Structure 1
Amino acid sequence: MKQAIRAAVMLVGLFNLVLGFAFLIRPAEMAAKFFIVPQGIQGLATIRADFAALFVTGGLFALYGAWNRRAAPLAVPIILLAIALTGRCITLIVDGVVPTSFTPMMVEAVMIAVLILGTRAFATRQWGR
């Protein structure tokens, strides 16, 4: 069971890493897939920098935690995804629901659940070591 959870955490990490590099390499294409419209070169630079940073950081920490079977690094992607999910919930309340609202929320919730399972599976290892 721990191996399956470890593999799932690695998949979460790889998924986020691929998204991050896609934002780095093809910001306009990825922005469109995320319903974002960049304004000029600076808008593309912001998408390239900020989205790549979010996804690459989360992905690397998930992979590091899974590879070393350590719970502590998984806190980083859990927090990043929880903030993203909170932002989406606020949008539902403030701006309303559209047909595309729930798919990314479900993906984020599943990734959070997998990462939390990972923290529990890896909890036998001490955090500081």
Structure 2
Amino acid sequence: MHFILVVLLALGALLDLLLGISFFVDPVTAGSDFGLQSPTPMGLSAMRGDFTAFFWLAAFCMGWAAWKRRGDVLWPALALFAIAFTGRLVNLIVVGDYEGWWQPMTVEALHVLVILAAIKTFPGRATPADPA
């Protein structure tokens, strides 16, 4: 089970790293893949900064957790993807569906499930033995 979680976390980290790079290098193209259009410098700045931060933080947490087999470093990534999924769910209820609505929600839900499984399976940070 540990090996499978390590592989899934590493693959998720790689996906998120690549998404972050795409937003950092070419926010116009990356944004259009997410249904965003922002021709203003302010919008491009927000896409380059905020989306990159989202995906790079998630990638870092998941990669570190996979490398060290530590569940405690996954809480920030869990919060990011759980909030993103919740926002999409609220939008689905309030605004309605659109073509392909289920794809990003599926990716976010899979992130949440893998991260939760890893948090439950991997130990937290190791503490030194009590010198008694």
Fold similarity call, TM over 0.5: yes
Alpha-carbon separation, structure 1, partners of 2:46 and 2:95? 24
Q: Are 2:100 and 1:103 equivalent residues in the alignment?
A: no
For 1:8, the aligned partner's letter is L
Partner SS, residue 70 of structure 2: coil
- The aligned runs of 1:68-79 (5 Å cut-off) are 68-79=68-79
Tell me the equivalent position of 2:130.
Answer: none
Structure 2 stretches lacking a partner, 5+ long: 128-132
Task: Using the TM superposition, give the Cα deviation of residue 23 of structure 1 relative to its aligned residue in structure 2, in angstroms.
Answer: 0.3
Alpha-carbon separation, structure 2, partners of 1:93 and 1:3? 37
Aligned pairs, number? 127
Q: Are 2:122 and 1:127 equivalent residues in the alignment?
A: no
Alpha-carbon separation, structure 2, partners of 1:128 and 1:80? 25
For 2:81, the aligned partner's letter is L
Partner SS, residue 92 of structure 2: helix
Task: Using the TM superposition, give the Cα deviation of residue 52 of structure 1 relative to its aligned residue in structure 2, in angstroms.
Answer: 0.2
- The aligned runs of 1:1-129 (5 Å cut-off) are 1-123=1-123, 126-127=124-125, 129=127
What CA deviation, in whole Å up to 9, does each residue of 1:47-72 have, x standing for no partner? 00000000001110111111111001
For 1:17, the aligned partner's letter is L
Task: Using the TM superposition, give the Cα deviation of residue 121 of structure 1 relative to its aligned residue in structure 2, in angstroms.
Answer: 2.1
TM-score normalized by the length of structure 1: 0.93
TM-score normalized by the length of structure 2: 0.91
For 2:125, the aligned partner's letter is W
Alpha-carbon separation, structure 2, partners of 1:94 and 1:106? 19
Structure 1 stretches lacking a partner, 5+ long: none
Task: Using the TM superposition, give the Cα deviation of residue 115 of structure 1 relative to its aligned residue in structure 2, in angstroms.
Answer: 1.1
Give structure 1 regions of 4+ aligned residues with deviation exceeding 3 angstroms: 126-129
Alpha-carbon separation, structure 1, partners of 2:33 and 2:120? 33
CA RMSD of aligned residues (A): 1.2
Partner SS, residue 99 of structure 1: coil
